[in-house]
Chains A and B, each alone.
Chain A
Amino acid sequence: MRAGPIAVAAAALALVPTYPLAAQHFSIGPQVAFGDYRETTSDLHYRGGGVGAKASVVWKKFSADVWLSKVKYKPEGGTATTDFDASEVDVQLRYYISGPFSAELGFMNRKADPEFEAQSMGAVTAGAQMSHLLGPGVRMALDGGLMFGPKFSGGGSISALGAVRLGLGLTVDALHGRLRVTGDYEFQSVSRTTDDGSGSISAPIQQSLGRVGFAIAF
């Protein structure tokens, strides 16, 4: 996948006109992303940074977060020698249940460029989120869940509970709620196995992704 579409989408989201959304809260803004990516063995270890964007909307008991990011991963020791770009889309839809708990359903898609330097993958996610208000305008959230039906560009499969994700988020309202500082952490661990005919081989994928930015709230 090329970097172009991600950047265009991020720019488009950042330039959405500021029209009022009745009975709902909407925010959108850019983020700086930094991450750690490992695949198969500890020798394939990458670290990098990039840009992203986040859009959020809240309507009644429903809410949704959409993240777009493009991280340029560089080898961090080991046997890897070639950089690659990871363009990722994460979408989480939530329904508030009770107390601090909400149910989550979404999907993620990550594409590596060059295509054969790392695994591209996509999966449906489901889980739960726990959210607390720390103070006026300061909210933190912890969420986790499973990734179902992952597809990998290099093939492979996982067990039923073989792909998990964990998230940590923070939003701080500023300027009377017009500006929002955002920080998100997402950890993905996929216990992937491959079989080239000689038997099942473990080829796990793991990514830690941090995103810090701000958003304009409408």
Chain B
Amino acid sequence: MRRPTCLPVAVLLFLPVVLSAQTIQNATLRRAQQSFENLDYRQALSSAHASLRERLTGYERARAYELLGFTYSGMDSILKAVDAFKQVVLIEPERDLDPNRTSPKALSAFQVALTQILVIRQLRVDSVQFIGGEGNVPIRYTVTQPSRVVTRVSGGPLSSMRIDSTVANGQVNIRWPARLPSGDPVPPGNYNVVVEASVGQNTFSTSQSIRVSHGSVDTLPHLTSLPGYTYLPETEVPPKSWRPMGLALVYTGVALAGTSALSNGDLGSPSLREGTVIGLGIVAAGFVMTLKKPAPQPARGNILYNQLLREQIARRNTEIAQENTRRRQQVALSVVPLPRAGGGR
């Protein structure tokens, strides 16, 4: 086996992996790690293989294979490194290497290992809240090999309901409307989203628990105004003018002049006493009205504007009432992923 030429760099790159093994209890595995840190790859390989023959926890077993993968990568034994990383992924399908802190050789071997085994990784169900029938639950996962992938929801009052079936490779996004075949929203409860992949004899499945809860849909309040639009005054006070006095003088003048013009000449000069008394009253009223603040006049434009605004609000409130009637018959679905109990197999 060829000894790597840039050993200090390799140690730095593998250091995070070594540091992550702090909880390892097995003494042989710890020795292997120590040897790896000391760049004694031969001893590291020997100790790592020895540890695998001992009783290890799943975590320790994954770390032992990972150590083997890194060591073989460092020793340019790529095929062996790939085999070791395949074991890592089978034990911990969600395991990922940090590309910023891992050597390119190890990363490459890890990626090759992923393509050679069938696993479903990174199954994620997003927290979401929506009105039943009007939204979807986003589900995504990554399948490492081209395979037939079936997604089911089980648990709760459901036995098992298939929600997707596809031939896929790589990342897959599906949207689940959370509805029963009858169209009703799924009842509240805890469910499992199970993703099963199969190609030939190889199968793999993983699951994610979710909790579905029901709530009432918020109704909309009725509007009393439209945002940004306010009612305008329907009357406006015109500027003060001499118009009332002028009108009074004109009316009185016309009446008195009419009296004079229409009176019969055979009866002598007409009596203007009666007309003058009433006319003076009118002129006095006109004078007072001229001095007084003018009466508010209807503002036609504002009245039409307010009428339109009222009609708009009434129309919108009618729509809101219909919408609220519909919403009261609906269910607000809330879907929350639960902490994962374990990986796939």
Contacts and interface: CB of A to CB of B under 8 A. Distances in A.
Interface of A: 34-36, 38-42, 45, 47, 132-136, 138, 140, 142, 144, 164, 166-170, 172, 183-185, 187, 189, 191, 202, 204, 206, 208-210, 212
A74 to B, nearest CB: 14
Nearest to A192: B264
26 contacts: A34-B274, A36-B274, A41-B266, A45-B268, A47-B271, A133-B295, A134-B247, A134-B285, A134-B289, A135-B244, A135-B292, A138-B289, A140-B282, A166-B255, A166-B259, A168-B252, A168-B275, A170-B278, A172-B285, A185-B279, A208-B271, A208-B272, A208-B273, A208-B275, A210-B274, A210-B277
Interface in B247-271: 247-248, 251-252, 254-255, 258-259, 262-264, 266-268, 270-271
Given A135-B285, A185-B255, A187-B270, 6 more contacts: A133-B295, A135-B292, A170-B285, A202-B266, A206-B267, A210-B278
Nearest to B244: A134
B281 interface: yes
B294 interface: yes
B267 A38 contact: yes
A63 to B, nearest CB: 18
Nearest to A164: B262
Contacts of A166: 255, 258-259, 262
Interface centre among B254, B266, B270, B292 (most CB of A within 10 A): B266
Nearest to A78: B268
B255 A168 contact: yes
Contacts of A134: 244, 247-248, 282, 285-286, 289
Interface in B272-306: 272-275, 277-279, 281-282, 285-286, 288-289, 292, 294-295
Contacts of A47: 271
B274 A208 contact: yes
Contacts of B295: 133, 135-136
B259 to A, nearest CB: 5
Would you list the 4 A-B pairs with minimal beta carbon distance, nearest first? A135-B289, A42-B268, A210-B274, A36-B271
A66 to B, nearest CB: 18
B254 A191 contact: no
Interface residues of B, number: 33
B271 A140 contact: no
A144 to B, nearest CB: 7
A28 B324 CA distance: 54
Taking each of B244, B251, B267, which has the highest tally of chain A beta carbons within 10 Å of its own beta carbon?
B267
Contacts of A189: 262-264
Given A135-B289, A138-B285, A140-B248, A187 B273 contact: no
Contacts of A210: 273-275, 277-278
Given A36-B274, A164-B262, A212-B277, A41 B251 contact: no
Contact of A204 (B266, B274, B286): B266
Nearest to B269: A42
A34 B272 CA distance: 12
A39 B267 CA distance: 7
B257 to A, nearest CB: 10
Most buried by A among B258, B272, B274: B274
Contacts of A206: 263-264, 267, 270
A38 B278 contact: no
A142 B254 contact: yes
A142 B282 CA distance: 11
B43 to A, nearest CB: 110
B264 A204 contact: yes
